Amino acid sequence: MCATCGCGDEAGVRVFGPGHLGHDEESGHQRAPDEHPHEHHDGHAGSHEHDHGQGPAGRTIELQQKILAKNDRLAEENRAWLTARGILAVNLMSSPGSGKTTLLERTARDAGARLGLAVIEGDQETTLDASRIQAAGCAVAQINTGAGCHLDASMIATALRALDPRPGSVLVIENVGNLVCPALFDLGEAARVVLSSVTEGADKPIKYPQMFRGADLVLLTKVDLLPYVDFDAERHARDLKLISPHTQILPVSATSGEGLPAWYDWLAGRAG
């Protein structure tokens, strides 16, 4: 078991490149986008090492440090590759059902051409979300993590090779739906965006502070449903400000279109 997040060691990566979502490309020994080989890493590297003379707490801390240090090294390689090509990479995170894929579908249709949008989809299984993004006219690569509950930098390196986003484009990485583990893993992104849905309760920032503390932007989604749900928007904004004073919050609805021009402008502005 992974000492960082508890994922099963059997988690693997399958990448489906744009235009052939039904074709399974096993990642095998993955390489960074620049084709320089790394040691294989599926989010659990080092989990089979043996520690001698340490108690369980010591082994857990050492293993966590090794996993995150290796991931951070690979993330910096991804970041350098993306920066050299002028690609803005955004790590999009939320709990399941907050509307990440629906938001990306609408973004692809409304502003995909303007942004040069490309998407990496992360799910444990299926290519359902990638198919939706492709149908919206956007280049997409699918990562299936198996038992893994988050994406990591090595998975993204593999997907970048398959997707090959064009220089100057905007790349959105839709992480696995989870408010815990994705916050720990740097993917090489330039910005982190967290979705918080009005259908899931206003207490998310204080219950999952690490996720929200690292966010550059919080999108409050499904605001068209506010008249029909019990959601304290003032409390949500107040708690977010306590957790992360610098983080901007933007109310949006992929159904009504509310707030979406500001979201598109935010992406364009970060892309520079």
pLDDT given for residue 1 in this prediction: 44
* Residue percentage of the chain with pLDDT more than 90: 74
Give the gyration radius of the chain's Cα atoms: 18
Q: What is the pTM of this model?
A: 0.84
pLDDT given for residue 17 in this prediction: 62
Q: Which residues in the chain come in under a pLDDT of 50?
A: 1, 9-12, 23-32, 35-52
**What are the structural domain ranges in the chain?**
14-271
Kindly indicate whether the domain formed by 14-271 is annotated with CATH number 3.30.1300.10: no
Cα-Cα-Cα-Cα dihedral sign, residues 28, 33, 120, 91: positive
Buried b (16+ CB within 10 A) or exposed e, 15-53: bbbbeebeeebebeebbbbeeeebeebbbbbbbeeeeee
pLDDT given for residue 64 in this prediction: 72
127: left (phi over 0), alpha (psi -120 to 50) or beta: alpha
